[in-house]
Amino acid sequence: MLMQSSQKVSVIISYYNAMKYIDRCVTCITGQTYENLEIILVDDGSSDGCGDRCRELTAGDDRVVHIRKPNTGVSDSRNRGLRAATGDWLYFADVDDLLVPDAIETLFTAAYKGGCSMAIAEFYRVRGDRYFCSNRGYGGVVSKNDFLKRMRMRPANIYYGSLWNKIFKREVFEESGAKFDGKIAFGEDHLFFLQMLDYVDKIAVVDRPLYYYMDNDGSLMHQGVVNPVALVKNKLLLYKGYNKLYKDAGMDDKVSDKLKSLFVLVAPATDAMVMPYHTQIDGEQASIIENQLTVEGLNSAKNQLED
């Protein structure tokens, strides 16, 4: 049963030269089963015509807000989107990835019914013909301290560090004063999350994958753009962010050895890649991914949920 509410969710997406993905992305967001959305699409100075295509695809949808700006990077674009957002909740997605049709509805429902200021969900990571399904094995409403106890064991995992598997109440953003740091080469979403989490009370955990993270060769890491100096700088900033978070929660004496001595240089993201031994995409999963990676498949999936 679909849940609708007077509470509006602001969806913020920054894109740059994304003609390859723009049709799928727009269909994926505008076709969400939760319809009370404000969709903020920030064109970060694209030169491939995807901005015009984006406007064409969303013509007549009064939920959509378009922002066109010079190419100043994803952090500045997201900050611009945040300044424009008027929703009661905030959600971020990446233009080259995919949400299941009821992703926003599921996250919102879990947070709203649980009286939480944040919800988080599992995800699929897809690379080539293989995929990895994150699975922490628990769900329901948890306290922030319980969440922090779990997070300290895997501080670098993208389950915690990414934004696309989370929804936040607007008050958390306003109270935290969080913003994206455009001075760092990568990991700005992880730092933003740590700032937000400091002001979260309890968390709704959804034990179901709602997002397909497409592991594309165009990422900074795959391009080799991130050099060792930038990597260490990022780890140091993350360490400081984690240290403040646990101290503010009165849990600084509970920080694991991984955070204290290993995190700065070597704490791995154990869900950070799809390995050769991970599940091959075939059968039912192949059909799901193949169909939902097309505009027609997304529309069909939504119609099935609404029937």
pTM, two decimals, is 0.86
Helix (H) / strand (E) element for 278: namely none
Between 122 and 4, whose confidence is greater? 122
pLDDT bracket for residue 156 (50, 70, 90): confident
Neighbours of 7 (CB within 10 A): 15
* Predicted confidence (pLDDT) at residue 267 exceeds the cutoff of 70: no
pLDDT bracket for residue 272 (50, 70, 90): low
**What pLDDT, on the 0 to 100 scale, is given for residue 222?**
42
**What pLDDT, on the 0 to 100 scale, is given for residue 153?**
80
Mean pLDDT in residue range 115-125: 95
Report percent pLDDT > 70 for the chain. Answer: 77
pLDDT bracket for residue 136 (50, 70, 90): confident
| Chain centroid offset of residue 137 CA | 20
* Predicted confidence (pLDDT) at residue 66 exceeds the cutoff of 70: yes
Identity of the residue numbered 262: L
**What pLDDT, on the 0 to 100 scale, is given for residue 301?**
54
pLDDT bracket for residue 143 (50, 70, 90): very high
What phi, psi does 212 have (nearest 5°)?
-105, 110
Q: Which of 201, 200, 191, 198 is nearest to 240 (CA)?
A: 191
**What pLDDT, on the 0 to 100 scale, is given for residue 242?**
85
Dihedral angle, C-alpha 205, 103, 43, 70, nearest 10 ° = 0
* Predicted confidence (pLDDT) at residue 305 exceeds the cutoff of 80: no
* Predicted confidence (pLDDT) at residue 251 exceeds the cutoff of 60: yes
Give the sign of the dihedral formed by CA 100, CA 106, CA 111, CA 112. Answer: positive
Q: Three-state DSSP class for 127? A: strand
**What pLDDT, on the 0 to 100 scale, is given for residue 261?**
45
* Predicted confidence (pLDDT) at residue 269 exceeds the cutoff of 80: no
Alpha-helical segments (H) within the chain: 22-30, 50-58, 74-84, 103-114, 144-151, 158-161, 170-176, 188-197, 220-223, 228-248, 257, 283-292, 295-306
Q: Hunting for tokens 């969709």 — which residue is that?
A: 39
Query: pLDDT per residue over 197-233, tens digit each?
Result: 999 999 999 999 999 898 765 444 443 445 677 777 7
CA 118 to CA 92: how far, in whole Å?
Answer: 13
CA 235 to CA 25: how far, in whole Å?
Answer: 31
* Predicted confidence (pLDDT) at residue 258 exceeds the cutoff of 70: no
Mean pLDDT in residue range 140-145: 96
Between 4 and 179, whose confidence is greater? 179
Mean pLDDT in residue range 151-163: 87
Query: pLDDT per residue over 239-248, tens digit each?
Result: 888 888 988 9
Tell me the Ramachandran region of residue 137: left when phi exceeds 0, alpha when psi lies from -120 to 50, beta otherwise.
left
Q: Tell me the pLDDT of the chain averaged across its residues.
A: 83
**What pLDDT, on the 0 to 100 scale, is given for residue 262?**
47
Between 189 and 298, whose confidence is greater? 189
pLDDT bracket for residue 264 (50, 70, 90): very low
**Contact by Cβ (8 Å): 76, 192:** no
**Contact by Cβ (8 Å): 28, 104:** no
CA 22 to CA 51: how far, in whole Å?
Answer: 9
Query: pLDDT per residue over 82-103, tens digit each?
Result: 999 999 999 999 999 999 999 9
**SS (HEC) of 159-194:** HHHCCCCEEEEHHHHHHHCCCCCCCCCCCHHHHHHH
**What pLDDT, on the 0 to 100 scale, is given for residue 239?**
81
Helix (H) / strand (E) element for 262: namely none
